[in-house]
Protein backbone atom coordinates (compact mmCIF):
# COMPACT_ATOMS: atom_id res chain seq x y z
CA UNK A 1 0.00 0.00 0.00
CA UNK A 2 2.85 2.40 0.79
CA UNK A 3 4.21 1.91 -2.72
CA UNK A 4 0.81 2.90 -4.14
CA UNK A 5 0.76 6.06 -2.03
CA UNK A 6 4.30 6.96 -3.11
CA UNK A 7 3.44 6.36 -6.77
CA UNK A 8 0.29 8.46 -6.39
CA UNK A 9 2.33 11.33 -4.90
CA UNK A 10 4.71 11.28 -7.87
CA UNK A 11 2.03 11.03 -10.57
CA UNK A 12 0.02 13.92 -9.07
CA UNK A 13 2.90 16.23 -9.97
CA UNK A 14 1.99 15.70 -13.65
CA UNK A 15 -1.49 17.22 -13.20
CA UNK A 16 -2.19 20.79 -14.19
CA UNK A 17 -3.47 23.26 -11.58
CA UNK A 18 -7.20 22.72 -12.20
CA UNK A 19 -7.02 18.93 -12.39
CA UNK A 20 -4.75 18.76 -9.38
CA UNK A 21 -7.22 20.75 -7.27
CA UNK A 22 -10.21 18.57 -8.12
CA UNK A 23 -8.25 15.31 -7.82
CA UNK A 24 -6.73 16.21 -4.44
CA UNK A 25 -10.20 17.09 -3.16
CA UNK A 26 -11.38 13.69 -4.40
CA UNK A 27 -8.36 11.98 -2.82
CA UNK A 28 -8.88 13.70 0.54
CA UNK A 29 -12.62 13.01 0.60
CA UNK A 30 -12.21 9.30 -0.21
CA UNK A 31 -9.29 8.74 2.16
CA UNK A 32 -11.23 10.29 5.03
CA UNK A 33 -13.66 7.36 4.82
CA UNK A 34 -11.74 5.80 7.71
CA UNK A 35 -13.82 2.60 7.88
CA UNK A 36 -12.94 1.50 4.34
CA UNK A 37 -10.24 -0.89 3.17
CA UNK A 38 -7.05 1.13 2.75
CA UNK A 39 -5.66 -1.08 -0.01
CA UNK A 40 -8.87 -0.93 -2.07
CA UNK A 41 -9.06 2.82 -1.49
CA UNK A 42 -5.54 3.44 -2.79
CA UNK A 43 -6.10 1.18 -5.81
CA UNK A 44 -9.26 3.08 -6.79
CA UNK A 45 -7.54 6.44 -6.30
CA UNK A 46 -4.63 5.34 -8.50
CA UNK A 47 -7.04 4.17 -11.19
CA UNK A 48 -8.81 7.55 -11.13
CA UNK A 49 -5.48 9.36 -11.37
CA UNK A 50 -4.42 7.31 -14.40
CA UNK A 51 -7.71 8.06 -16.15
CA UNK A 52 -7.43 11.76 -15.34
CA UNK A 53 -3.88 11.92 -16.71
CA UNK A 54 -5.05 10.33 -19.94
CA UNK A 55 -7.85 12.91 -20.26
CA UNK A 56 -5.37 15.70 -19.56
CA UNK A 57 -2.97 14.45 -22.24
CA UNK A 58 -5.85 14.39 -24.72
CA UNK A 59 -6.86 17.92 -23.76
CA UNK A 60 -10.24 16.83 -22.40
CA UNK A 61 -12.05 18.14 -19.32
CA UNK A 62 -12.04 16.42 -15.91
CA UNK A 63 -15.84 16.55 -15.89
CA UNK A 64 -15.80 13.68 -18.38
CA UNK A 65 -14.48 11.52 -15.54
CA UNK A 66 -16.06 13.04 -12.45
CA UNK A 67 -19.25 14.46 -13.92
CA UNK A 68 -20.82 17.78 -12.96
CA UNK A 69 -20.96 16.86 -9.26
CA UNK A 70 -17.53 15.50 -8.12
CA UNK A 71 -18.72 15.13 -4.53
CA UNK A 72 -21.58 12.87 -5.60
CA UNK A 73 -19.11 10.85 -7.65
CA UNK A 74 -16.85 10.56 -4.59
CA UNK A 75 -19.81 9.38 -2.48
CA UNK A 76 -20.53 6.67 -5.04
CA UNK A 77 -16.91 5.51 -4.86
CA UNK A 78 -16.97 5.44 -1.07
CA UNK A 79 -20.23 3.48 -1.12
CA UNK A 80 -18.68 0.78 -3.32
CA UNK A 81 -15.48 0.36 -1.30
CA UNK A 82 -15.38 -2.70 1.01
CA UNK A 83 -15.51 -2.16 4.77
CA UNK A 84 -12.34 -2.40 6.83
CA UNK A 85 -12.18 -5.61 8.86
CA UNK A 86 -13.29 -5.18 12.48
CA UNK A 87 -9.96 -6.44 13.90
CA UNK A 88 -8.09 -3.60 12.21
CA UNK A 89 -10.58 -1.03 13.49
CA UNK A 90 -10.08 -2.35 17.04
CA UNK A 91 -6.29 -2.16 16.68
CA UNK A 92 -6.54 1.40 15.36
CA UNK A 93 -8.80 2.33 18.27
CA UNK A 94 -6.28 1.12 20.85
CA UNK A 95 -3.49 2.76 18.86
CA UNK A 96 -5.29 6.10 19.14
CA UNK A 97 -5.99 5.63 22.86
CA UNK A 98 -2.38 4.83 23.79
CA UNK A 99 -0.93 7.51 21.52
CA UNK A 100 -3.19 10.07 23.20
CA UNK A 101 -2.26 8.87 26.69
CA UNK A 102 1.40 8.71 25.75
CA UNK A 103 1.61 12.24 24.39
CA UNK A 104 -0.51 13.72 27.22
CA UNK A 105 1.47 11.97 29.98
CA UNK A 106 4.85 12.70 28.39
CA UNK A 107 4.09 16.42 27.96
CA UNK A 108 2.75 16.64 31.52
CA UNK A 109 5.94 15.07 32.83
CA UNK A 110 8.22 17.14 30.61
CA UNK A 111 6.61 20.44 31.62
CA UNK A 112 6.68 19.45 35.31
CA UNK A 113 10.35 18.48 35.12
CA UNK A 114 11.29 21.74 33.37
CA UNK A 115 9.34 23.86 35.84
CA UNK A 116 10.76 22.05 38.88
CA UNK A 117 14.39 21.48 37.94
CA UNK A 118 14.70 24.50 35.69
CA UNK A 119 12.77 27.18 37.59
CA UNK A 120 11.97 25.63 40.98
CA UNK A 121 8.27 26.42 40.53
CA UNK A 122 6.76 22.96 41.14
CA UNK A 123 7.31 20.13 43.60
CA UNK A 124 9.49 17.20 42.54
CA UNK A 125 6.54 14.86 43.08
CA UNK A 126 2.83 15.01 42.35
CA UNK A 127 -0.11 13.32 44.03
CA UNK A 128 -2.80 11.75 41.85
CA UNK A 129 -6.16 10.34 42.91
CA UNK A 130 -7.26 7.15 41.18
CA UNK A 131 -10.91 8.14 40.94
CA UNK A 132 -10.12 11.57 39.56
CA UNK A 133 -7.60 10.27 37.05
CA UNK A 134 -10.01 7.57 35.85
CA UNK A 135 -12.89 10.00 35.22
CA UNK A 136 -10.62 12.63 33.67
CA UNK A 137 -9.02 10.06 31.39
CA UNK A 138 -12.37 8.68 30.18
CA UNK A 139 -13.78 12.16 29.59
CA UNK A 140 -10.60 13.34 27.89
CA UNK A 141 -10.57 10.33 25.55
CA UNK A 142 -14.23 10.92 24.73
CA UNK A 143 -13.58 14.58 23.95
CA UNK A 144 -10.51 13.69 21.88
CA UNK A 145 -12.38 11.16 19.74
CA UNK A 146 -15.29 13.57 19.23
CA UNK A 147 -12.79 16.24 18.24
CA UNK A 148 -11.06 13.95 15.73
CA UNK A 149 -14.39 12.89 14.25
CA UNK A 150 -15.55 16.50 14.00
CA UNK A 151 -12.29 17.51 12.33
CA UNK A 152 -12.62 14.71 9.77
CA UNK A 153 -16.18 15.80 9.01
CA UNK A 154 -15.06 19.41 8.67
CA UNK A 155 -12.25 18.54 6.25
CA UNK A 156 -14.71 16.41 4.23
CA UNK A 157 -17.09 19.36 4.11
CA UNK A 158 -14.37 21.68 2.76
CA UNK A 159 -13.58 19.31 -0.11
CA UNK A 160 -14.86 20.60 -3.48
CA UNK A 161 -15.41 24.05 -1.92
CA UNK A 162 -13.47 27.30 -2.10
CA UNK A 163 -13.19 28.07 1.60
CA UNK A 164 -11.67 31.38 2.64
CA UNK A 165 -8.24 30.89 4.22
CA UNK A 166 -9.07 33.51 6.86
CA UNK A 167 -12.33 31.74 7.76
CA UNK A 168 -10.57 28.38 7.84
CA UNK A 169 -7.81 29.72 10.09
CA UNK A 170 -10.23 31.36 12.52
CA UNK A 171 -12.71 28.47 12.56
CA UNK A 172 -10.14 25.72 13.08
CA UNK A 173 -8.20 27.82 15.59
CA UNK A 174 -11.28 28.37 17.75
CA UNK A 175 -13.22 25.12 17.31
CA UNK A 176 -10.27 22.70 17.18
CA UNK A 177 -7.75 24.69 19.20
CA UNK A 178 -8.88 27.19 21.83
CA UNK A 179 -12.22 25.51 22.65
CA UNK A 180 -10.83 21.99 23.29
CA UNK A 181 -7.85 23.41 25.18
CA UNK A 182 -10.16 25.41 27.45
CA UNK A 183 -12.37 22.36 27.94
CA UNK A 184 -9.44 20.19 29.01
CA UNK A 185 -8.21 22.86 31.43
CA UNK A 186 -11.68 23.25 32.97
CA UNK A 187 -12.03 19.48 33.25
CA UNK A 188 -8.83 19.08 35.25
CA UNK A 189 -9.36 22.24 37.30
CA UNK A 190 -12.93 21.64 38.46
CA UNK A 191 -12.86 17.84 38.85
CA UNK A 192 -12.85 17.06 42.62
CA UNK A 193 -10.18 14.77 44.06
CA UNK A 194 -11.45 11.36 45.18
CA UNK A 195 -10.30 7.78 45.47
CA UNK A 196 -6.98 6.31 46.65
CA UNK A 197 -3.97 8.60 46.18
CA UNK A 198 -0.65 7.87 44.47
CA UNK A 199 2.43 10.11 44.79
CA UNK A 200 5.17 9.80 42.17
CA UNK A 201 8.21 11.76 41.07
CA UNK A 202 7.42 13.93 38.05
CA UNK A 203 10.15 12.41 35.87
CA UNK A 204 8.31 9.08 36.03
CA UNK A 205 5.55 10.68 33.95
CA UNK A 206 7.99 10.99 31.04
CA UNK A 207 8.82 7.27 31.25
CA UNK A 208 5.15 6.29 31.59
CA UNK A 209 4.33 8.45 28.58
CA UNK A 210 7.01 6.71 26.53
CA UNK A 211 5.59 3.31 27.55
CA UNK A 212 2.10 4.36 26.48
CA UNK A 213 3.47 5.59 23.15
CA UNK A 214 5.30 2.30 22.57
CA UNK A 215 2.04 0.44 23.24
CA UNK A 216 0.37 2.64 20.63
CA UNK A 217 3.11 1.75 18.16
CA UNK A 218 2.58 -1.94 18.95
CA UNK A 219 -1.13 -1.73 18.08
CA UNK A 220 -0.26 0.28 14.95
CA UNK A 221 1.92 -2.59 13.72
CA UNK A 222 -0.88 -5.04 14.48
CA UNK A 223 -3.43 -3.01 12.49
Q: Residue 17 sits in a domain of what CATH number?
A: 1.10.1900
Examine the fold and report which residue of 80, 104, 127 is the final residue of a domain before the chain moves on.
80
Both 71 and 98 in one domain: the answer is no
Q: What pLDDT score was predicted for residue 122?
A: 83
Both 11 and 92 in one domain: the answer is no
pLDDT reading at 85 higher than 80: no
Q: What percent of the chain has pLDDT over 90?
A: 70
Q: Where are the beta strands (DSSP E) in the chain?
A: 125-129, 197-201
Indicate the pLDDT class of residue 44, thresholds 50, 70 and 90.
very high
Both 21 and 109 in one domain: the answer is no
Both 171 and 187 in one domain: the answer is yes
Q: Across residues 63-73, what is the average pLDDT?
A: 91
Residues 6 or more apart whose CB falls under 8 angstroms from that of 222 comprise: 91
Burial of 177 (0-12, 13-18, 19+ CB in 10 A): exposed
Both 119 and 216 in one domain: the answer is yes
Indicate the pLDDT class of residue 35, thresholds 50, 70 and 90.
confident
Q: What pLDDT score was predicted for residue 213?
A: 97
Q: What is the pTM of this model?
A: 0.84
Q: Across residues 38-42, what is the average pLDDT?
A: 90
Examine the fold and report which residue of 27, 58, 80 is the final residue of a domain before the chain moves on.
80
pLDDT reading at 1 higher than 80: no
Q: Across residues 136-142, what is the average pLDDT?
A: 94
Both 164 and 100 in one domain: the answer is yes
Both 154 and 207 in one domain: the answer is yes
Indicate the pLDDT class of residue 36, thresholds 50, 70 and 90.
confident
- Residue 195: CB atoms within 10 A of its CB come to 13
Q: pLDDT of 9-32, one tens digit each?
A: 999 999 999 999 999 999 999 999
Examine the fold and report which residue of 53, 80, 107 is the final residue of a domain before the chain moves on.
80
Residues 6 or more apart whose CB falls under 8 angstroms from that of 173 comprise: none
Both 202 and 153 in one domain: the answer is yes
**Domain range spanning residue 50?**
2-80
Both 167 and 57 in one domain: the answer is no
Both 183 and 95 in one domain: the answer is yes
Both 121 and 70 in one domain: the answer is no
Both 60 and 38 in one domain: the answer is yes
CB 197 within 8 A of CB 132: no
Indicate the pLDDT class of residue 117, thresholds 50, 70 and 90.
confident
Structural domains in the chain (count): 2
Q: Across residues 108-120, what is the average pLDDT?
A: 90
Amino acid sequence: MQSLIAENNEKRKLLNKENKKIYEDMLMYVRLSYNKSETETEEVLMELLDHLLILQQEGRDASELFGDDPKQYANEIVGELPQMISKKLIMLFFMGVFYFLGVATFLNGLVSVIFHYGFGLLESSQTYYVGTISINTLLSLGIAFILVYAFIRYISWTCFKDVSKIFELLFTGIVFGALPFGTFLALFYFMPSFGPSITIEVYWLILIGICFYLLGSFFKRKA
